[in-house]
Amino acid sequence: MTPACSLSDRFRGLCTAPSLGVLLLLLLGSQSARAQVPAALPAAPAPSPGPAAAPDLPPSSREAAPVATDPAAPADGTAEDTTAELGADEEGRKKRKKRKHRKPTDDDAAPVPALDAARAGNAADKKREKPNKHDFRLKGRVFALAELSHRRERVVTVESGLVDRDRDALDVELQSARIGVDYHSPLPWLSAEVELELAGNVEAKDAFVKAGQLFFVKAGRFKVPAAAMEVASPWTLPQVRRGLVHNLLVDWMDVAGRAPGVAFGYHEKTGLKPRVTLGVFQGSTLKSVLGSDRDVRLIDRATLHAQTYAARAEISPFGIALGAWYEQRVNSIALNRTAHYATFGLDATLDRSFEHSGVRAWIDGGAGQSPYLHSEKPGQGDRAWFTFGRAQLAYRLGGVAQDDPYLEPFGFFAVLDPDTEVVSDLVTEAALGVSAGFWDRARITLQGEITNGQRNFPGGFLGGQTPDHRSLLLQAGARF
């Protein structure tokens, strides 16, 4: 046990026990704090000999062991130390509370270079560490159609052979049921799209991958870059259906349409918004003809010349999209027989909204080579030159924003000359109608249309059927 020491002995260095050295350090620290104690505090009683000092502790626990304070112990400065510490803690809490509730000053907002640098570094790290976000958007549309029609058709009878007769019909059908998914990957330049047609036989309409933004490449099955009216979605166009001239161009002469292929392009979204697309697509050949329906299949492992080549360029000055296109297409009028035919055209598209209304217009025209010739054309070769033109105008009341109610009357006219060297062979069509509903969401369309073919219209089209008909159509559609 280490002997006890008096206060005077401590200052003369007579106590050498290690535990009393710790008490000496505490005493020296308390002398500086004693000066801050208010003078009104009573003086501590004089020191008197007390019990023995605390026993020696092992070196590892000397600093961690708490020092016990006995109220009856000699006043060697411990009371003053405790009072000073409590007063300092209370004053510190008051200052912190005051700083917490005071209004911020300009000094508080002063930038701290080190802190700003740290924040900038954290922001850069977050920018580099992009979240792994995959964006999927489900989309779809449905069209239901009722048609009251009067047609002239050509039939074969036992008694009279080939004769023309009139037929009236009322039909209700599911015109189209599309569902699809748009996908955008965490890489901003990579996307994909899949769209299926569920009405009738299930068919993949669009299925492609697209890489790039300003410069891009697109691969899969998608629309051939041709006339603007062919590239536009049926939902975008106001009429119930594209019309007879469209059927003759796409279904019979294989202009435009969809096919497997790859396309390269450039698209600037500012200024004149120039866009250029070059593509190569797999061609098709005749499979069968049944009445006015022509069915084709893709050319498969048959030739090195099975591809259709297409190009389109467009700009948009003053809000009007102007386009030019060319297509070196594969076409077939006999089984396993194909050839390439040139086709080209120009088009213009307007879509402008005002405060409470809007106007839309499509105009296009083109020419090309065709294998469909009149059977009595003298000195005929293996191809003819055809021309066509179409115009569509719609004026809208309301429908400035999506889901706004609207009313939109429209008109459509088209003409096709299947052979520029033959007279009286034109086919024409016209349509008038009105749509009403909620803009870009749901609509009901009432349309009347009439088509007519002249006497020298080539019999190779439409399986020998006449193009003449008159129809009243009622369509309901919705999209999501």
**Residue 302 maps to which CATH number?**
2.40.160.10
* Domain's final residue, options 92, 123, 153: 92
List, in sequence order, the alpha helices (H) in 44-131.
78-101, 113-128
Domain assignment present for residue 445? The answer is yes
- Considering the domain architecture, whether residues 242 and 326 belong to the same structural domain is answered as yes
What's the CA gap between 474 and 18, in Å, rounded? 106
Domain assignment present for residue 120? The answer is no
List, in sequence order, the alpha helices (H) in 282-414.
none
List, in sequence order, the alpha helices (H) in 300-352.
none
Which tokens sit at 427?
């086919």
- Considering the domain architecture, whether residues 208 and 84 belong to the same structural domain is answered as no
Domain assignment present for residue 59? The answer is no
303-326 confidence digits (pLDDT tens):
899 999 999 999 999 999 999 999
Domain assignment present for residue 133? The answer is no
Three-state secondary structure call for residue 89: helix
- Considering the domain architecture, whether residues 83 and 195 belong to the same structural domain is answered as no
What's the CA gap between 284 and 297, in Å, rounded? 5
What's the CA gap between 73 and 349, in Å, rounded? 102
Domain assignment present for residue 49? The answer is no
Spell out, as residue ranges, where the chain has pLDDT lower than 50: 1-25, 27-80, 82, 106-107, 109-110, 127
Q: Based on the structure, what is the number of domains in the chain? A: 2
pLDDT of residue 21: 46
What's the CA gap between 6 and 18, in Å, rounded? 16
| CA-based end-to-end distance of the chain | 92
- Considering the domain architecture, whether residues 86 and 228 belong to the same structural domain is answered as no
- Considering the domain architecture, whether residues 167 and 80 belong to the same structural domain is answered as no
- Considering the domain architecture, whether residues 83 and 157 belong to the same structural domain is answered as no
319-364 confidence digits (pLDDT tens):
999 999 999 999 998 888 899 999 999 999 999 999 999 999 999 9
Cα-Cα-Cα-Cα torsion 390, 394, 400, 405, nearest 10 degrees, comes to -130
Alpha-carbon separation of residue 83 from 25, 48, 92, 96, 287 (angstroms): 18, 21, 14, 20, 105
What's the CA gap between 412 and 361, in Å, rounded? 10
Residues 307/282, Cβ–Cβ less than 8 Å: yes
Domain assignment present for residue 66? The answer is no
Which tokens sit at 244?
């007879």
- Considering the domain architecture, whether residues 362 and 277 belong to the same structural domain is answered as yes
What's the CA gap between 79 and 343, in Å, rounded? 107
Domain assignment present for residue 84? The answer is yes
Burial environment of residue 441 by CB neighbours within 10 A (0 to 12, 13 to 18, 19 or more): middle
Residues 326/344, Cβ–Cβ less than 8 Å: yes
Burial environment of residue 212 by CB neighbours within 10 A (0 to 12, 13 to 18, 19 or more): middle
What's the CA gap between 121 and 130, in Å, rounded? 15
What's the CA gap between 301 and 454, in Å, rounded? 40
Domain assignment present for residue 208? The answer is yes
Boundaries of domain holding 187: 141-479
pTM of the model: 0.72
- Considering the domain architecture, whether residues 32 and 165 belong to the same structural domain is answered as no
Residues 6+ apart with CB under 8 A from 290: 463
What's the CA gap between 313 and 264, in Å, rounded? 12
148-189 confidence digits (pLDDT tens):
999 988 777 777 777 888 999 999 999 999 999 999 999 999
- Considering the domain architecture, whether residues 165 and 308 belong to the same structural domain is answered as yes
- Considering the domain architecture, whether residues 462 and 318 belong to the same structural domain is answered as yes
What's the CA gap between 364 and 368, in Å, rounded? 14
What's the CA gap between 48 and 51, in Å, rounded? 10
Residues 352/345, Cβ–Cβ less than 8 Å: no
Q: Which residues pair with 343 in a beta bridge?
A: 327, 368
Element (H, E) at 388: strand 384-398
